[in-house]
Amino acid sequence: MTQNNSSPALKIIPLGGLHEIGKNTCVFEINDEIILLDAGLAFPTDGMHGVNIVLPDMTYLRENRHKIKGMIVTHGHEDHIGGIAFHLKQFEIPIIYGPRLAMALLKDKLSEAGVTKRTELRTVGPRETVRLGKSFFVEFIRNTHSMADSFTVAIRTPVGVVIHTGDFKVDHTPVDGEYFDFQRLAEYGEKGVQCLISDSTNSELPGSTPSERAVFPNLDRIFAQAKGRLLVTTFASSVHRINMILELAKKNGRVVSVVGRSMLNLIAHARTLGYIKCEESLFQPLQVLQKLSDEHVLILTTGSQGEPMSAMTRIANGEHRQVKVREGDTVVFSANPIPGNTIAVVNTIDKLMMKGAKVIYGKEHGIHVSGHGCQEDQKLMLGLTRPKFFLPVHGEHRMLVKHSQTAQSVGVPAENMVIIDNGDVVELTATSMRIAGKVPSGIELVDTSRSGVVNSKVLKERQQLAGDGIVTVAAAIGWTGALIAKPQIHLSGVVTSLERSKLQASIETAIGTILRDRWNEFARPVGKDAQLEIDWVGLQTQIEREIQRTLRRDLQSNPMLVFLMQNPEEPSVREVSRERRTPAIAS
């Protein structure tokens, strides 16, 4: 498995995670063998109506499913494992290797989605090496991150070693005592790393990310000062943070209830696997807490990002059935809002304050630290691995650019790195790295509460409906060219100052005009028995155009128009034999 100049190139194809934070998904391919590293989801942005999950377009893997030898998972965050259950409905992955906690969470997801059958899940430990196909040997190297049980991986391939950092920070004093394995990375660096693929999340920030432990004394002080109940929210997946909160709850004589499905789920798995260690009695249901005096109560909830359906948001809105916030409560936001969530978070804070709670939030309290390394941490990763080539991933464009500048500052030549986008095919050989092509790299919008994919046509329609509403018109037209009944009209989401009766009259006039002036274009006797032949589709199009014109004129707006025209399947003898007349109802 040493470098071999005559061997074919390794293709590195990120399908997600580039020019974005989210849905990290990376394909490695060589000798007709493919492995997948992580497969995450992202959350919808503005205008993605009715969408709650965004996934990468997996066309490339679907079309090359026969090459897939297996998958590597670095850690259990949603942006690294949240897509797997969806993808397994499209193609098979024979085996998935990953850390214990991530595999436990993934197992649940696969069960829920009903896709457990043909995929083997295998847990791996630090310094364990697994083989996938003939070409890939992957070693799991312990790193430190906000999620417990997180790995950097070294992938030995026919063109050399590729190190993918996964998500990492450099935490010298990890809460769980699981130290960053600098030794193993340094050893790879010593032997020669062909390419480093590294986390760019915080590449715009100078300095180092503080240890997760840094929040401990600050939370400690806040907990000690709180006189009434304590409500604490953080990311459901922040096992280390939750461990500290539990330790401080015990220290301050508080009993803990956990509220919010994702946090309950994570804590259950983390306790089973030993990532959260505390007495059984520390956790109590809300009913028990209600009987305790306020200073013995701690409620740990989801909702640190102001998510609309989360526990903390429902508590703030007064909509949570069991937890009502009140004067004397202290609410702690042990998380910073992710860009895009700021307004939701501050609205939640305001509502909690209006209900009388003291709310502790904001950077100045030192109650949150990032799970991703800053520039100095990124330099250390580069310094340990001394890669020949460098590929910044896991970040928006300017973060990738900054990270590449950082890499240059520690000696990686500018020509040995590329800034890539999702779908770019990077070819790595023993002597070169270049962008060699492109595979499909769009997005798939999923509505998990409904029935699946929100395609771009549906999304576009929803955007038009949201912006301008819709006018629906139904008209039944007989074989004489007369309206059979009064046309019906319905408006939804339409802004207009026009009276309903005037709009009705306008639309009836529009229909009547076409039927009167242009009927003969669409209805003609043909053949020698002069049988009536009607171009209903052409007629419908003409009437629709006329109504559209009318709406533009009368509404000064541009709603979607749906015109449903019905006509009897065949003319009755009576109708056809009667003379052609102007429409009966339309004036």
User: Nearest distance from residue 525's CB to its own copies, in Å?
Assistant: 22
In the residue annotation, 372 being an active-site residue is answered as: yes
**79 belongs to an annotated ligand binding site:** yes
Question: 80 a known binding residue?
Answer: yes
x-or-dash string of contact with its own copies, 368-407, rule CB under 8 A: ----------------------------xxx--x------
- For its own copies, which residue of 282, 458, 505, 532 counts as binding (CB under 8 A)? 458
Dist CA 348 CA 327 (whole Å): 16
Beta carbon of residue 45, minimum distance to its own copies (angstroms, whole number): 7
Q: Which of 183, 187, 568, 578 binds its own copies (CB under 8 A)?
A: 568
Neighbours of 65 (CB within 10 A): 14
Which one of the spans 129-137, 191-199, 340-348, 501-509 is the region binding its own copies (CB under 8 A)?
340-348
Please pick, from the candidates 94, 217, 340, 356, the single residue that binds its own copies as defined by CB under 8 A. Answer: 340
Nearer to its own copies, 4 or 225 (CB): 225
Burial (CB < 10 A; 0-12, 13-18, 19+), residue 394, is buried
Site for its own copies in 179-238 (CB under 8 A): 204
Binding mask 539-558 for its own copies (x = CB under 8 A): ----------------xxxx
Does residue 465 touch its own copies according to CB under 8 A?
Answer: yes
371 assigned to a ligand binding site: yes
Alpha-carbon span 423 to 440, nearest angstrom:
6
Residues 400-439 that bind its own copies (CB under 8 A): 401
Examine the residue annotation and report whether 199 is marked as an active-site residue of this protein. Answer: yes
* CB 566, min distance to its own copies, A: 4
224, 354, 414, 530: which one contacts its own copies (CB under 8 A)? 354
Distances (CA, A) of 256 to 228, 242, 493: 14, 11, 46
Complex with its own copies: residue 288 or 562, whichever CB lies closer: 562
Calculate ∠ Cα 285-290-292, nearest 5°.
100
Kindly report the backbone phi and psi dihedral angles of residue 553, in degrees, each rounded to the nearest multiple of 5, phi listed first. -70, -45
3-state helix, strand, coil in the chain (%, to 5): 35, 25, 40
Helices (H), ranges, 331-396: 342-354, 375-385
Nearest to 154 by CA among 120, 190, 103, 101: 190
Does 587 interact with its own copies (rule: CB under 8 A)? no
Under rule CB under 8 A, residue 332 binds its own copies: no
Q: In the range 278-297, which residues lie near its own copies by CB under 8 A?
A: none
Q: Taking the complex as a whole, how short is the minimal distance between the CB of residue 413 and its own copies, in angstroms?
A: 20
Q: Using CA atoms, how far apart are residues 108 and 117, in angstroms rounded to an integer?
A: 13
178 binds its own copies (CB under 8 A): no
Letter for the amino acid at 228?
G
Residue 561: burial class (beta carbons within 10 Å; 0-12, 13-18, 19+): middle
Q: What is the DSSP letter of 158?
A: T
Q: Where are the alpha helices (DSSP H) in 57-138?
A: 59-63, 78-81, 84-87, 100-113
Of the candidate residues 186, 353, 430, 534, the single one contacting its own copies (CB under 8 A): 353
What would the x/- binding string for its own copies be over residues 12 to 41, using CB under 8 A? -------x----------------------
**Rounded Cα–Cα distance for residues 209 and 375 (Å):** 9
Query: Which of 565, 528, 168, 106 has the alpha carbon at shortest distance from 382?
Result: 168
How many residues sit in the footprint of its own copies (CB under 8 A)? 71
Which of 112, 350, 521, 535 forms a contact with its own copies (CB under 8 A)?
Answer: 350
Question: Tokens 């500290």 correspond to what residue?
Answer: 244
* Residue list for the binding site for substrate: 368-372
Active site residues: 199, 372
* Residue list for the binding site: 50, 75, 77, 79-80, 145, 167, 368-372, 394, 447
